[in-house]
Amino acid sequence: MMVGVSDDRPPEDKPADSAMPPGDDAENPSPTADPGKPAAPLRLRTLLIIAAVLLGLDLLTKTIVVAELTPGDPVPIIGDFARLSLVRNPGAAFSMATGMTWLLTLVAAAVVIGVIRIGRTLRSLWWAIGLGMVLGGALGNLVDRLFRAPGPLQGHVVDFIAVGWWPVFNLADSSIVCGAILLVVLTVFGFEPDGTRAGHGHHPEATATETAAEPDKPSDNGANGTASSKGNAA
């Protein structure tokens, strides 16, 4: 009697390399593999929009003030406490460095360049707001330095807001001061330009990547349970 021979064959073992998921090869890592959380978006566009809006408001108010007000003839808003008073300032705040207008122009240009360079890698929304305010104000006063009388690099800044005993200022000055205060507050409380906070661990993306890279470890209960079952079976 002939015994039938089964045609069934055991499945062939697949090569170990084929069992590896894409991207596990150390020599050819997958460029799309990103187990961590997505990084916060860049904020340069937000920074530039804020700066452009503030620059536009500053230029508009200065144009109106120059056309409607006369130097030495203030217009009261709230009695003598708040008023509009046209002043052409050749110096910096508090009328300092009145004979160094050209140097103040170069400083303003350096501030503009520095803020834009920082903004290219910025990921914090609040830092974008603060730097946008500083950039918008610096550009507003820089336009005065470049294009107003008596000439390029020597132009006098148009100031028109007078409050109490405080020196006369403009919207650009207010924007710079408020933006600088915001940046100081963010620095004091540890908020970084990249969107993280000092003293609160690594960047979220790096932390998630490190966690995903750790191999799965069996729990102690699972290991004890397996050992116990083997002992009972014996």
196: tokens are 């993280």
The tokens describing 176, both together, are 């710079």
Backbone angles phi, psi at 162, to 5 degrees: -120, 120
State how far the alpha carbon of 52 is from the alpha carbons of 39, 59, 141, in Å: 26, 11, 13
Q: How far apart are the first and last CA of the chain?
A: 41
Query: How many Å apart are CA 122 and CA 120, to the nearest integer?
Result: 6
Active site annotation includes 73? no
For the four alpha carbons of 42, 114, 112 and 127, in that order, the dihedral sign comes to positive
Phi-psi region of 72 (alpha: psi -120 to 50; beta: other; left: phi over 0): left
The span from the CA of 109 to the CA of 142, in Å, is: 7
Out of 7, 144, 173, 194, pick the active-site residue: 173
**Residue located via tokens 């008023």:** 83
On whether the CB atoms of residues 112 and 135 are closer than 8 A, the answer is yes
Quick one: DSSP state of residue 158? E
Query: Is 194 one of the catalytic residues?
Result: no
Q: Of 13, 159, 194, 220, which one is the catalytic site residue?
A: 159
| Cα distances (Å, whole numbers) of residue 179 to 64, 72, 168, 215 | 25, 30, 19, 46
Among all residues, which ones are annotated catalytic?
159, 173
